[in-house]
Amino acid sequence: MKFRESSDRLIKFIGNATCSFTTVQTSIELLRDAGFKALELGADWELERGRSYYVNVYDSSLMAFSVGRNYDGGMIRIATAHTDSPSFCVKPNPEVKAGMGNIGKLNVEGYGGAILNTWLDRPLSIAMRVSVKSENVFEPEIKIIDFRRPVVTIPNLAIHMNRDVNKGVELNKQVDMLPICCQPGTDANDFFISYLADELKVNKDDILDYEGYVYNTEKGQYVGINDEFILCPRLDNATSVVACLGGIIDSSRADSDEAANAGALGGNDDGVNVIMVFDNEEIGSMTKQGANSSVLTFMLEKLYRSLEHDNETTEDARAGYINRILNGMMISLDVAHATHPNHPEKNDPTSPIVLNAGPVIKRSAAQRYATDAKAVGIVEQICKKADIPYQKFSIRSDMVGGSTLGPISDIQLPMLTVDIGVPILAMHSAMETMGAKDQAYMEELVRGFFCY
């Protein structure tokens, strides 16, 4: 496997994928370069066998799929991930003056469960979706902007003024986590909106609203005597998004006539391969672009009806679609907790999770993960066939673990599902750590899922 190539590609992707909106933009660029054709979410679709497509879902989620060149109603295989990461959102009317008006701060609120102290004293920036005044009141102009340089930071309080800091001090999000951004002067009360308008080259009075996310600008890098590890922001969950993209792009190529003539893997050539990267997993997925919405089920039904419209009545098409869903399979990708070298007692005693030892299959008796024995059996056989190492994770019996996309997606799509992920340390830190081999292992697993 090309370990370094996969890791380099991941680090490059994360440098551009700074929030949900820019993650979707960056993903679309890769799909376009691979020959995927754009479809509109709210339009009729005319699909062709052997072609690949993508759908921008409300700017922060994305669906892409490949129709087998010999499609005849075969298996639907779906890989999911999420585009969001823990962060801080810029509030409306965000400007705050401090230090006799000499320091400009931004009023922000937490997004997801960040490890707060890891965000202090770092070079931070902001990526945003902005709504701008337009002629049609129902179609405001939408602009996505990333400042792409450190424009804010959150300064720590010096130990001389906080003597107990190393004993563990609780940070108050409203007091301690407001980033500073400028020295505005005594007369400037709209310093942030003015800066945003200048960057967008619009009149500040034409800015209607925005969604702004603070992010860490630090680049991913290799760490360790032999570059064994990667230290990088937003590994949760860019590792999974990149694996999904690589899998769907490679499977679309594997299903081409040229690849078939060369003896390549079949690429599920009588079915459909799908990836769906949702937004808002970090806050519960209860949005129109989240995993607990009906948006994926709607799009899958549109997909199926477009391919079957010449063969079935409306009633037959609905029944056929339901059968395809019930006979399909989903792999839900989200990072997993590696066993911490300084705190091994936090992990299950018989299920240690190791960096650079392959993807993690997650199990939970409480169904916090959607995994069952049949789904695990399929993934294990894919791994063994492709010579991919893998691990199995369970939470300690005296702890309550988190959940992820699998059980949420299953509410909308009751199909065979397994939750898997790349193991990392310091999940939800501003800088997370993973093994340098594990991205290649995960990409190979997704590729095998789509192509075997």
Concatenate the DSSP letters of all residues of 183-240 into one string: ---SS-S-HHHHHHHHHHTS-GGGEEEEEEEEEE-PPPEEESTTS-EEEETTHHHHHH
Distance linking the first and last C-alpha atoms of the chain: 18
Does 361 fall in a domain?
A: yes
Mean pLDDT of all residues in the chain? Answer: 91
325: tokens are 């869903």
pLDDT of residue 209: 98
User: Are both 246 and 197 inside the same structural domain?
Assistant: no
Q: How sure is the predictor about 396, in pLDDT bands with cuts at 50, 70 and 90?
A: confident
Preceding omega of 226 cis (within 30 degrees of 0): no
CB atoms inside a 10 Å sphere around CB 234: 26
Residue 227 domain flag? no
**How much is the pLDDT for 411?**
75
Report yes or no on 73 lying in a domain: yes
Same domain, yes or no: 166 and 262: no
| Residue 324 neighbours by CB under 8 Å, 6+ apart | 73, 75, 76, 304
Residue 207 domain flag:
yes
pTM beyond 0.75? yes
279 in the same domain as 171: no
Q: Are 317 and 259 contained in the same domain? A: yes
Task: Give backbone dihedrals phi and psi of 180, rounded to 5 degrees, phi first.
Answer: -95, 150
Please check whether residue 129 is in contact with residue 143, taking contact to mean a CB–CB distance below 8 angstroms. yes
Domain shared by 399 and 319, yes or no:
yes
Task: Tell me what the mean pLDDT of segment 130-154 comes to.
Answer: 97
Which pairing describes strands 76-82 and 272-278: parallel, antiparallel, or unpaired? parallel
Mean pLDDT of 118-145: 98
pLDDT computed for residue 33 by the predictor: 97
**Which CATH number characterizes residue 144's domain?**
2.30.250.10
Closest C-alpha to 230, from 383, 335, 155, 333: 335
Is 410 contained in some domain? Answer: yes
Reading the block at residue 82, the tokens are 């999420």
Question: Which residue would you say has higher pLDDT here, 308 or 121?
Answer: 121
CA distances from 183 to 96, 123, 154, 290, 345 (A): 11, 17, 15, 38, 47
148, 181, 216 - which closes a domain: 216
Domain span at 60: 3-85+233-451
What is the DSSP secondary structure assignment for residue 402, as one 8-state letter?
-
Residue 30 identity (one-letter amino acid): L
Report the CATH number at residue 356.
Answer: 3.40.630.10
**What's the total number of domains in the chain?**
2
Report percent pLDDT > 70 for the chain: 92
Boundary of a domain, candidates 185, 216, 247: 216
Instruction: Render 120-176 in DSSP notation, one character per residue.
Output: TTS-EEEEEEEEE--SSTTS-EEEEEE--S--BB-PPPPGGG-TTGGGT-PPPTTTT
Inside any domain, residue 258: yes
Task: Give the pLDDT of residue 35.
Answer: 97
pLDDT at 400: 66
Q: Out of 204-218, 231-245, 355-369, 429-443, pick the least confident.
A: 355-369
For the segment 60-68, the average pLDDT, to the nearest whole number, is 97
Distance, CA of 23 to CA of 59 (rounded, Å): 9
Please report whether residue 348 resides in a domain: yes
Q: What is the reported pLDDT for 262?
A: 39
Q: Is 434 helix (H, G, I), strand (E, B) or coil?
A: strand
Residues 151 and 205 in one domain: yes
Q: Does 93 lie in the same domain as 79?
A: no
Residues 6+ apart with CB under 8 A from 138: none
| Domain match, 383 and 289 both | yes
Residues 23 and 68 in one domain: yes
H or E segment to which residue 9 belongs? helix 3-16
Lowest-pLDDT choice from 6-20, 365-379, 415-429: 365-379
| More confident position, 316 or 207 | 207
Res 24 pLDDT > 70: yes
Under 8 Å between Cβ of 76 and 182: no
Which among 284, 233, 265, 280 is positioned nearest to 66, based on CA atoms? 265
What is the pLDDT confidence band of residue 414, given thresholds at 50, 70 and 90? confident
- Looking at residue 57, its amino acid is V
Phi, psi torsion values for 278, nearest 5 degrees: -90, 160
Distance CA 215, CA 213 (A): 6
Residue 268 pLDDT > 90: no
259 pLDDT above the threshold of 60: no
Place of tokens 């056929």: 320
| pLDDT of 263 higher than 50 | no
Give the pair of three-digit tokens for residue 190: 């709209």
Please check whether residue 374 lies inside any domain of the structure: yes
Residue 370 has pLDDT above 80, yes or no: no
Q: How are strands ordered across the β-sheet holding 87-98?
A: 141-146, 124-132, 207-216, 87-98, 103-111, 180-182
Higher pLDDT residue, 267 or 345? 345
Mean pLDDT across 319-323: 88
**Cα Rg of the chain (Å, integer):** 23
Buried/exposed code over 187-215 (b: 16+ C-beta within 10 A; e: otherwise): eeeebbbebbbeebebeeeebeebbbbbb
What pLDDT, on the 0 to 100 scale, is given for residue 237? 94
pLDDT at 188: 74
Two tokens, residue 441: 């292992």
105 and 202 fall within a common domain: yes
| Residue 447 predicted with pLDDT over 90 | yes
In this structure, the answer to whether residues 179 and 242 fall within a common structural domain is no
Burial of 99 (0-12, 13-18, 19+ CB in 10 A): exposed
> Taking residues 225-247, what's their average pLDDT?
98
Are 18 and 126 found together in one domain? no
Arithmetic mean of pLDDT, 18-44:
97
**Of 159, 186, 216, which one is at a domain's C-terminal end?**
216
Lowest mean pLDDT among 32-46, 274-288, 316-330: 316-330
Could you report the per-residue pLDDT of 144-194, keeping only the tens digit for each? 999 999 999 999 999 999 999 998 889 999 999 999 999 987 667 899 999
What are the pLDDT digits (tens) for 93-113?
Answer: 999 998 777 899 999 999 999
% residues pLDDT > 90 (the chain): 77
